[in-house]
Structure 1
Amino acid sequence: MAHLLGAQNLRVSYGTRTVLDGVSLGLDDGDRIGMVGRNGDGKSTLMRLLSGAQSPDEGLVTKPKHVRVGYLNQRDVLDGDLPVGEAIVGDAADHEWASNPKVREIMGGLVQEVDWHARVSSLSGGQRRRVALAKLLIGDDDVIMLDEPTNHLDVEGVAWLAQHLKARWRANQGGLLLVTHDRWFLDEVCTRTWEVHDGVVDPFDGGYAAYTLARVERDRKAAVEEQKRQQLAKKELAWLRRGAPARTSKPKFRIEAANALINDVPEPRDSVALAKMATARLGKDVIDLEDVSLGYDAAGSLFDQVTLRLAPGERVGIVGVNGAGKSTLLRLLNGDVEPTGGRIKRGKTVVTAMLTQEVKELEPLADKRVIEVIKDEQQRFEVGGKELSAGQLVEQLGFDQSKQWTQIKDLSGGERRRLQLLRLMIGEPNVLMLDEPTNDLDTDTLAAVEDLLDGWPGTLVVVSHDRYLLERATDHQLALLGDGQIRFLPGGVEQYLELRAAGSTPAQRADSPPASPAAGGPSPAPSAASSYSEADKREARKSLNRLEKQMAKLQERIGAVEADMAAASEALEFERLTGLTGQLGQLQEAHSDLELQWLEAAEIAEG
Structure 2
Amino acid sequence: MNLLSAENLSKSFGERILFSNLTFGINQGQKIALVARNGTGKSTLLDILAGKHPADTGEVTSRKGVKIGYLEQEPYLDPNLTIYQTLFASENTLVRIIADYEKALEHPENEKAYQRAFEAMEQANAWDLETRYKQILSKLGLDNTALPVANLSGGQCRRLALAHILLDTPDVLILDEPTNHLDLEMIEWLEEYFRTHVSTLFMVTHDRYFLDRVCNHILELEDGVLHNYKGNYAYYLQEKESREVLEAVNLQKTKALFKKELQWMRRQPKARTTKSKARIADFGELKHRASERRKVHEVELEIQMERLGTKVLEVHNISKKYGDRTLFEGFNYNFKRGERVGLVGSNGSGKSTFLEIICGNLQPDTGKVVKGETLKMGYYTQEGLQVQQGQRVIDVIREFGDYIPLKKGRELSAQQLLERFLFDRKQQYDYTEKLSGGERKRLFLCTVLIQNPNFLILDEPTNDLDIITLNVLENFLLDYPGTLLIVSHDRYFMDKITDHLFLFDGAGSITDFPGNYSDLRDYQQNNLKDPKPEAETAQEGTSRKPQVARKGKLTYTEQREIRALEKTISQLEKQKSELEQKLMTPDLPGETLDEVSREFAMVIGELDQKTERWFELSALETGE
TM-score when normalising by structure 1? 0.76
Deviation sequence 1:244-281 (CA, Å, 0-9, x none): 99x9xxxxxxxxxxxxxxxxxx9x999xxx9xx98x81
Alignment pair present for 1:80 and 2:105: no
2:111 corresponding residue in structure 1: none
In 1, are the aligned partners of 2:569 and 2:610 still within 8 Å (CA)?
no
CA deviation after TM superposition for structure 1 residue 315, in Å:
1.3
1:236 corresponding residue in structure 2: 261
Match of 1:285 among 299, 307, 311: 311
Q: SS where residue 170 of structure 2 aligns? A: coil
Find the aligned partners of 1:54 and 1:235 in 2 and give their Cα distance: 49
| Residue type of the alignment partner of 2:164 | K
1:175 corresponding residue in structure 2: 200
Pick closer, same or farther for the CA change 1:407–1:564 going to 2, 3 Å.
Answer: closer
1:300 corresponding residue in structure 2: 325
Alignment pair present for 1:352 and 2:351: no
In 2, are the aligned partners of 1:269 and 1:454 still within 8 Å (CA)?
no
Pick closer, same or farther for the CA change 1:36–1:337 going to 2, 3 Å.
Answer: same
Deviation sequence 1:13-45 (CA, Å, 0-9, x none): 433444332222111122111011122322223
Alignment map for 1:145-544 (pairs within 5 Å): 145-169=174-198, 174-236=199-261, 281-296=307-322, 298-359=323-384, 362-363=386-387, 366-383=389-406, 387-494=411-518, 508-510=532-534, 520-521=543-544
Find the aligned partners of 1:551 and 1:220 in 2 and give their Cα distance: 30
Q: SS where residue 213 of structure 2 aligns? A: helix
| Residue type of the alignment partner of 1:93 | Y
CA deviation after TM superposition for structure 1 residue 458, in Å:
1.0
In 1, are the aligned partners of 2:494 and 2:516 still within 8 Å (CA)?
no
Alignment pair present for 1:23 and 2:52: no
Find the aligned partners of 1:390 and 1:399 in 2 and give their Cα distance: 11
| Residue type of the alignment partner of 2:137 | M
In 2, are the aligned partners of 1:558 and 1:584 still within 8 Å (CA)?
no
Pick closer, same or farther for the CA change 1:92–1:592 going to 2, 3 Å.
Answer: farther
Q: SS where residue 319 of structure 1 aligns? A: strand
Identity across aligned pairs (percent)? Answer: 36
Find the aligned partners of 2:229 and 2:463 in 1 and give their Cα distance: 25
Alignment pair present for 1:125 and 2:151: no
Find the aligned partners of 2:128 and 2:555 in 1 and give their Cα distance: 50
| Residue type of the alignment partner of 2:148 | R
Find the aligned partners of 2:7 and 2:450 in 1 and give their Cα distance: 47
Find the aligned partners of 1:561 and 1:441 in 2 and give their Cα distance: 31
Deviation sequence 1:124-154 (CA, Å, 0-9, x none): 1111111111111123322211112112111
Q: SS where residue 127 of structure 1 aligns? A: helix
Alignment pair present for 1:50 and 2:41: no
CA deviation after TM superposition for structure 1 residue 459, in Å:
0.6
Find the aligned partners of 1:502 and 1:115 in 2 and give their Cα distance: 33
Find the aligned partners of 1:558 and 1:421 in 2 and give their Cα distance: 29
| Residue type of the alignment partner of 1:284 | T
Q: SS where residue 158 of structure 2 aligns? A: helix
Pick closer, same or farther for the CA change 1:503–1:342 going to 2, 3 Å.
Answer: farther
Find the aligned partners of 1:552 and 1:13 in 2 and give their Cα distance: 44
In 1, are the aligned partners of 2:312 and 2:337 still within 8 Å (CA)?
yes
In 1, are the aligned partners of 2:459 and 2:486 still within 8 Å (CA)?
yes
Pick closer, same or farther for the CA change 1:509–1:456 going to 2, 3 Å.
Answer: closer
Pick closer, same or farther for the CA change 1:92–1:343 going to 2, 3 Å.
Answer: same
1:7 corresponding residue in structure 2: 6
CA deviation after TM superposition for structure 1 residue 488, in Å:
2.3
Pick closer, same or farther for the CA change 1:420–1:140 going to 2, 3 Å.
Answer: closer
1:107 corresponding residue in structure 2: 137
Alignment pair present for 1:139 and 2:168: yes
Pick closer, same or farther for the CA change 1:580–1:552 going to 2, 3 Å.
Answer: farther
Pick closer, same or farther for the CA change 1:514–1:347 going to 2, 3 Å.
Answer: farther
Find the aligned partners of 1:452 and 1:35 in 2 and give their Cα distance: 25
| Residue type of the alignment partner of 2:318 | V
In 2, are the aligned partners of 1:558 and 1:588 still within 8 Å (CA)?
no
In 1, are the aligned partners of 2:495 and 2:518 still within 8 Å (CA)?
no
In 2, are the aligned partners of 1:88 and 1:131 still within 8 Å (CA)?
yes
| Residue type of the alignment partner of 1:203 | N
| Residue type of the alignment partner of 2:544 | G
Q: Where in structure 2 are there 5+ consecutive unaligned residues?
A: 90-98, 106-120, 268-274, 283-297, 580-602
Q: Where in structure 1 are there 5+ consecutive unaligned residues?
A: 248-265, 524-542, 599-607
CA deviation after TM superposition for structure 1 residue 230, in Å:
2.1
In 1, are the aligned partners of 2:31 and 2:202 still within 8 Å (CA)?
yes
1:528 corresponding residue in structure 2: none
Find the aligned partners of 2:212 and 2:58 in 1 and give their Cα distance: 31
Find the aligned partners of 1:520 and 1:395 in 2 and give their Cα distance: 43
Q: SS where residue 508 of structure 1 aligns? A: coil
TM-score when normalising by structure 2? 0.74
Pick closer, same or farther for the CA change 1:98–1:344 going to 2, 3 Å.
Answer: farther
2:101 corresponding residue in structure 1: 93
Q: SS where residue 228 of structure 2 aligns? A: strand
Q: SS where residue 307 of structure 2 aligns? A: helix
2:59 corresponding residue in structure 1: 60
Cα RMSD (Å): 4.1
| Residue type of the alignment partner of 1:489 | F
Pick closer, same or farther for the CA change 1:99–1:368 going to 2, 3 Å.
Answer: closer
2:608 corresponding residue in structure 1: 581
Pick closer, same or farther for the CA change 1:486–1:504 going to 2, 3 Å.
Answer: farther
CA deviation after TM superposition for structure 1 residue 57, in Å:
3.3
Q: SS where residue 349 of structure 1 aligns? A: coil
1:533 corresponding residue in structure 2: none
Deviation sequence 1:75-94 (CA, Å, 0-9, x none): 32322212211211344322
Deviation sequence 1:329-369 (CA, Å, 0-9, x none): 11111122222222322222111121111135x44x55443
Q: SS where residue 93 of structure 1 aligns? A: helix
Find the aligned partners of 2:134 and 2:490 in 1 and give their Cα distance: 27
Find the aligned partners of 1:226 and 1:392 in 2 and give their Cα distance: 28
Find the aligned partners of 1:482 and 1:405 in 2 and give their Cα distance: 45
Find the aligned partners of 2:555 and 2:457 in 1 and give their Cα distance: 32
Pick closer, same or farther for the CA change 1:294–1:468 going to 2, 3 Å.
Answer: same
In 2, are the aligned partners of 1:565 and 1:581 still within 8 Å (CA)?
no
CA deviation after TM superposition for structure 1 residue 50, in Å:
2.8
Larger radius of gyration: 2
CA deviation after TM superposition for structure 1 residue 485, in Å:
1.6
CA deviation after TM superposition for structure 1 residue 478, in Å:
2.0
Find the aligned partners of 2:74 and 2:165 in 1 and give their Cα distance: 14
Find the aligned partners of 1:134 and 1:500 in 2 and give their Cα distance: 27
Find the aligned partners of 1:114 and 1:203 in 2 and give their Cα distance: 40
Find the aligned partners of 2:470 and 2:507 in 1 and give their Cα distance: 32
| Residue type of the alignment partner of 2:511 | R
In 2, are the aligned partners of 1:355 and 1:433 still within 8 Å (CA)?
yes
Find the aligned partners of 1:315 and 1:559 in 2 and give their Cα distance: 16
Q: SS where residue 429 of structure 1 aligns? A: coil
Find the aligned partners of 2:4 and 2:484 in 1 and give their Cα distance: 45
| Residue type of the alignment partner of 1:4 | L
In 2, are the aligned partners of 1:353 and 1:429 still within 8 Å (CA)?
yes
